[in-house]
Each structure stands twice: as C-alpha cells, then as structure tokens.
Structure 1
C-alpha cells in the first residue's frame, strides 16, 4: 500500500477507480469538478463531460443497467437538475454499483445557494455516506459501490468544499477489475409506468430496514465513549471540528444516513446536554430533539444557520480562541480577468441600452458588479432566456438575456425553443469563450474535444440557434465594438427572437488554442 497527499476530489475519484468502475459522468461544477478530471487523467476508464447533470445521471444509470459500476459526480445545485431521474432510480433500483458523488458548498463560495444534499438522499430513500477527511473520502466511495450492489440502490457520497479542496494523506489500495457486461430485460424493474411504480415503491420501503442493517455493519456511525455530561453529535466533516476542541467529551460520530433512533437514544440517555454539529441544515439536530430535552445547535442559535460552519463557532461555544481570523484578511471578491473578452461585450451591451438584462450562471455573471453593473437578475443555469421570455411577454421592450456557451448547451436550448414558439421579443446574447471557464477550462461541445482530450465532432452554436427557429443569429468578435453595438441594437429594436454570439476565446486559454490549430 502506498500513502500519498491528495485533494479530496481526487480521493473520491481514487476510491471509484479502486472499486472497478467502467465509466464516469459529470458536468463541471465547483467544488466537484476535479473528480472526473482525476479519472480522465489518471486512468484508462471511459468518462464524459455530459451536457448537463440530468444527462450525466441518466447515462450513468444506463451503465448500471449493464451490470457494470459507474460514478456520477456533480455539485449540489446540479442535483436539482438531475432530480427527475434521481428520484425514480431509487424505485427501479440498480444492477451495477451506482455511486452519486455530490459536492455541497456551505458558505456559497461558488454557488447560488447552500442547500444540503442529505435531504435529497432522505427524500429518495437511499443511503448517504459523508466522509470527514481524505482517507474516508477514498474508502467510503469504494465501499459505497458494494453497498449499492447489496441493496440494489444508488448510494450518495455527500461532501463539502472544505474537504474536497483540501489536501490530506490517503492510502492507495489495489484496483478491482471491471465487471463483465450483464444486460438483460426486466420490464417490471426497468420501466417506470403506473402499474409498476406502486409495487416498486413497496420494494423500496422494504429496503429501508436493510439499509440500517448494512450501515450498522460498516460502523459508519459510532459512539466514542468519554467522560463528561455534555455530548457532541458530529456529522461528517464536523467530526474533525469536534476533534479540534481537544475536550474529553463523549462524541457520536455520524458519517452515514439514515441514522438509527436507537443509536441516538443510547448516546443521549445519561447526558445533561447535547450539542449537534453539522454542515448544512439541522437534519440530525431535529431528530435528536425527539430524545433529549436540552439540545444546542443551529435551531437554538448557538451555531450559525447561514454560511459555512467550520471549526470556529464550536471553539467559541466552548470559550476557546478561533483557529482563523478572517476579519483580518482583506476581502478579494472575484472579478472579470484583465483582458477577458466579456469586458468588451459588456461595454457594447451598455452602449446598446437594453431596458432589462437577465443573467445566468458562469464567470460572465461577474458582469453584474462594478464597473459594468450590466446584469439585473441571476437565478440558475439556463434561466436567463426563460426569465427574459416572462418579462418580455408582459409588454416590456428591449429585454436582453446573457448566457455563456457552456450554459447554453446545458439548459439554454430548450428555453430558446420556448422563446421562438411563444413569440417572445427578446435579444439572446451567447458569450462564447470556447471553454467552461468558471470551473477550470473544461471543453465544450463546440470545441470538439472530449474529457479524455480526444478529438470529436464540433457542434455549431450558429447552426443550433438557426435550427431552433430564431429570426436572426450573428457571430461577432467583441473587440469589433462598432459592429457588436450595432448588432445588439438591431436585436433589441426588432420584434422576434434574435441571437448575438460574442465569440472570442477566454484570455487564459487563447494561446493553447492557437497552438492546437498550428
């Protein structure tokens, strides 16, 4: 066995490789992006940057149907996109081990919310494992495939930015061989129609007791007996926060869900007070309140409800000095890079004088900040076009939607079709910088490069827009300011759906693209 220093994302990926996966799917999203990147660069395993998280989940499910193991990774809000197949997959069940690795983002370091994916696992009635360091990130991911096949259910690995983006020592183990394809027909367990889903739901409910038995067998959740009448229930990464207290207090370590009520009852029975520490929402804190009269945590205001928890609030709760002093560090909010082509686009857009500009998710979202202050709203991936439709259909003129190239492929195309079909008068601006820049320069479908760096077909944004039935589409280099301003004004002033593609590579990859062309 070899011990190496690894990022948390890499540790999750390594665990999947060791488990013998045959395929990996993902859509880039911080903090989970590097999981698939590690697999692509450090193995011969087939993998893909899927067009969005829903497709990534469905492709992974197809792999599982063949009896082979598969990893699907995404960030927490990506699970919202994949929720439709995710919720039904637990009814139908899986064959080959199916592990869904989700990166939550407490503190919203690179996200539009702080949602807690544990609730999704509970909603779908599947197991959720929550590692607390690099070693458990690898080990839990590897074990999750065995659990998935034993239960016939997808298993979620839930981790957070702090774990995924930190280095930790990890022990490497042998890689299991990939399984042979074993594809066979079984309509009652593969086709989600009304006559099947009620029996399937009954089967899923019957598996809940078995989930608890399996989690108990692996000892994910255990009581660490110590002196003291104050007990700490620490979930996932928060277990490391509890250890930093260096207090001789009993701890209930929780790293898998659902949690047995009997285990909680046993832990709290002789305690005067219970402190529940968990990143995200008070999932376990609510459960503990059923069995002890004095519980402190987020619901009591003893620990913060918003933002990343980290170790400091717990240290303060025990009268100890915080481990960090963020207030002493000058703030460095993100901004558009010097030389970014989006800067030139926003100059032109402001000159064109739109009434209202709907924004989207990507590095171009930073155009909402000074000196441009060019965006008026931002909701989620692909929503810029949809929001523009709603605003324009209320009689508002000169409405512009701004969306990135990768985001357009992700969920912008259905919205563009909707705009054409429902006769919206809007201008759609696609900012094409030839890469998924916000998450680390992953390739896009129109770049013609796969996740493994192999050449593939190049798709055309212009042709896709024309196929959607738009009234006009033009592609312009944002450095050609007069031409761009003129095109934006025409799009704002002319009825119908008009598309302007601002095309210039991200300044950080422009040199690399030139090298490949030469």
Structure 2
C-alpha cells in the first residue's frame, strides 16, 4: 500500500470524524477518508473542536496554507483545552509544486505550543494514534505533518491499538491569564514526552526526519527531543526546523494559574445591559452554549455560567453546531469571521440556534461602530426581536431540528462598562 492509503486507513481507525478542504497534496487523502468537505479550514477545525467537546476524536485534513486560515481557533484551543483528541493532518509542499507558498507548518508547533509528529512511511499508524493521545494528554490540538514523498512511499499496514483518552477544558474559575499559564505549564511537560517517545529511534548521525534518510529517526518534531541537541547532521524535507531548534528549552516554570478568586473579582454584563432579559431566559432554561469573543464570552461567567467553551472570534457557530447546538455571538464577530461557518451550517441543515446580539458596536473594546449584519443575513431568514421583547424571546429561544438565526437588538447605554463583582 502507499503512504496516502495508510494515512487514510489510520485516520478511519483512530478518529470518529474527518473534515477536509481539498488542495495539493491532501486532495486524494481527503477523498480516501470520505472526509466531509467544509467551506474553509477555520470552520473545519471548529467542527472538530465541537466533536471533541462531545468526546469524539476528530481529524482535519488540510494543506500547508490552510493552517494559516485556521490559526485563530488553533491557538485559542491551546488555552481553552478540549476533550476528545483533535489532529490537524497537514500536507506541506516544500517544493511549491501545487501551492502558493513553501511554508513549513512545523513552526506552528512552536507558536501554538502543539505536539507535532512527522512520520516516515513505517510510523504512519503509530504516529496518528500518538498524535491523538498527545492531543488528549496535553488538551490541545496535535499536528501530524507530512510531505508528498511520504504519500507516495511504499509501506505496510502496521496498525497499533487505539487508546481513547480524555483531555480537559481549562478550569472555568481561571482568568484568561490563568488559562494561558496553565496551558504553558502543560507545555513544559511535553518536552519530556517528546524525548521519551518510542517513535524516535536513536542510532547516531545522520538523523532523518519525515522522508529524509538517516540512521537516527526523529518523528517528534515539536517539542524537539533533547537528544538532537548535540547532533550536527540533521536531514529534513522543508526548512531546517529541527536543526534550528536544537537545544530548545521548555518555558520557565510559571506561577500558579491565576483564578478569579486570586484576582478578587469576575466580570459580567454592564449593569444596564439591554441583553440581560435574554440572558435570564437562557439561564432559566439551563441552555448550555458556545460563547464567542466579545461580550458573548461573559456568558461563561457567573451569574450565568452557561458557556461550555470559547474558541475565539467567529468560532462559536461551527463549534456549537457539533456540540451544544446553541451559539452566542455579537454582530461584529459574526461579520468578522463567523459568516462562513453559518453558511456551511445552513447548507448542511445542521441543528443550531445562532443568537446574534446586535448592538451596532464593538462593546468590549470601546464601542467602535459595527456594520449592520441584517443585510448580509437575509438568506438565513432570521427572526429579529428587541432585547426587551420577552414574549418573543421566550418563544424563539429554542433549538429545533434545523438551523435558525435569532437577531436580538439592543443599544448599549451611554457611558456603560462591564460590571466587576467581588469574587
């Protein structure tokens, strides 16, 4: 069998769902997996994160430039955490044979503090399973990076046991600073995992990574194993990531992650926020949701405690479509980077209640004006109601078997600010 067939078989064995955006060199791989086509890479990763919240393992099959498109939720997931393993199956194109750039996706491992695995033909099955186990162990997305020679290589079916693990979401009592600190503390432990991985094989120089030949085989690309620190002859396909990161040290030990109790307060909606009646209905019904960035994220805090997770600007729609079925998003965030996901959800008729808080401004960052989303939502046939129309809110705040959009309109009071409440 060829490497592309082995990767497809491994993904079907070790993941429950697969999503893809076609493009060289991943088009055939996505087809072999019968992966679900998605409107863009950001939405695909958000679907996978939604599956993860439901305890499923998910794969996102994309090419190198596609990683750029999903960078925001990719980094957000490191701080937010996840439950089921998520693997970003990334096809790099170092010779730019079918791509606009020759970028090397391994560098995202350093930026987002991800485990990155780059197999040769003999470690495909073990590499996919190891990536998923690492995703669950370190509660973040893992990357499985490959290049065209690995797809074309002859290999054998070498399955390994599937060992479903369970990641965890960041402690909801942490501040945002606390979440980042906790994620970085976990990243420190990833360095020992990398150096101890049985996927790496040590037998002197030269060392080879991916399809590059070598006596030593380096499969864990990030964090780089400590054993390569003294090596001089390291052969790679693409940029010299391992060579340039020899001797890379883990982050300095951090302080205990800051909690809201440590800080002394939590934040909630403005005292006179027009959307409080809507939040009260949601609270009364116990409607768990995915919160977007901006004021929507306050739905995760007391006194509402409704938000399960938040993966950044525009992410709530696709994540919720595969998990809670309820997304809370602001008008600015919707137009910023949520509209593509809403289109995909409607095309697939996925059950979702998308609640758009329309206040015509970016309230969390200084009330800069925002575009009116309604002209761009006519195709979705949204229900529009005032934030104080409690009868309509009671009727419309329900999840059905199809996608629905509810636009709730309100005006932020002049001079208002988010309330800080002693913890």
TM-score (norm 2): 0.55
Larger radius of gyration: 1
Q: CA deviation at 1:95?
A: 0.7
| 3-state SS of 2:104 partner | coil
Are residues 93 and 468 of structure 1, via their aligned partners in 2, closer, same or farther at CA, if it must alter by over 3 Å?
A: closer
The answer as to 2:10 corresponding to 1:15 is yes
**Alignment RMSD (CA, Å):** 3.5
Q: How many residues in Structure 1 have an aligned counterpart in Structure 2?
A: 261
**Counterpart contact for 1:64–1:94, Cα < 8 Å:** yes
| 3-state SS of 1:24 partner | strand
Matched residue, 1:441: none
> What are structure 1's unaligned runs of at least 5 residues?
41-46, 226-230, 243-250, 269-273, 291-413, 419-443, 457-466, 470-518
| 3-state SS of 2:33 partner | helix
The answer as to 2:148 corresponding to 1:161 is yes
Q: Distance in 2 between matches of 1:75 and 1:69?
A: 20
* Equivalent of residue 184 in structure 2, options 194, 202, 205: 205
Q: Distance in 2 between matches of 1:86 and 1:187?
A: 15
Q: Distance in 2 between matches of 1:85 and 1:172?
A: 33
The answer as to 2:116 corresponding to 1:137 is no
**Counterpart contact for 1:68–1:178, Cα < 8 Å:** no
Are residues 183 and 257 of structure 1, via their aligned partners in 2, closer, same or farther at CA, if it must alter by over 3 Å?
A: closer
* Equivalent of residue 29 in structure 1, options 3, 23, 39: 23
**Counterpart contact for 1:215–1:256, Cα < 8 Å:** yes
Are residues 101 and 187 of structure 1, via their aligned partners in 2, closer, same or farther at CA, if it must alter by over 3 Å?
A: closer
Q: CA deviation at 1:163?
A: 1.5
Matched residue, 1:171: 157
Q: CA deviation at 1:258?
A: 2.7
Of structures 1 and 2, the one with the larger relative CO (CA 8 A, separation 6+) is 2
The answer as to 2:212 corresponding to 1:238 is yes
Q: CA deviation at 1:75?
A: 0.2
Matched residue, 2:32: 38
Q: Distance in 2 between matches of 1:57 and 1:159?
A: 18
The answer as to 2:86 corresponding to 1:98 is yes
**Counterpart contact for 2:106–2:145, Cα < 8 Å:** yes
Q: Distance in 1 between matches of 2:228 and 2:161?
A: 36
The answer as to 2:227 corresponding to 1:263 is yes
> What are structure 2's unaligned runs of at least 5 residues?
249-331, 337-342, 351-374, 378-423
Are residues 101 and 261 of structure 1, via their aligned partners in 2, closer, same or farther at CA, if it must alter by over 3 Å?
A: closer
Q: Distance in 2 between matches of 1:178 and 1:288?
A: 32
Are residues 196 and 280 of structure 1, via their aligned partners in 2, closer, same or farther at CA, if it must alter by over 3 Å?
A: farther
Matched residue, 1:247: none
Deviation track 1:359-388 (CA, whole Å, cap 9, x = no partner) reads xxxxxxxxxxxxxxxxxxxxxxxxxxxxxx
Q: Distance in 2 between matches of 1:260 and 1:48?
A: 33
Matched residue, 1:491: none
**Counterpart contact for 1:220–1:255, Cα < 8 Å:** yes
The answer as to 2:104 corresponding to 1:116 is yes
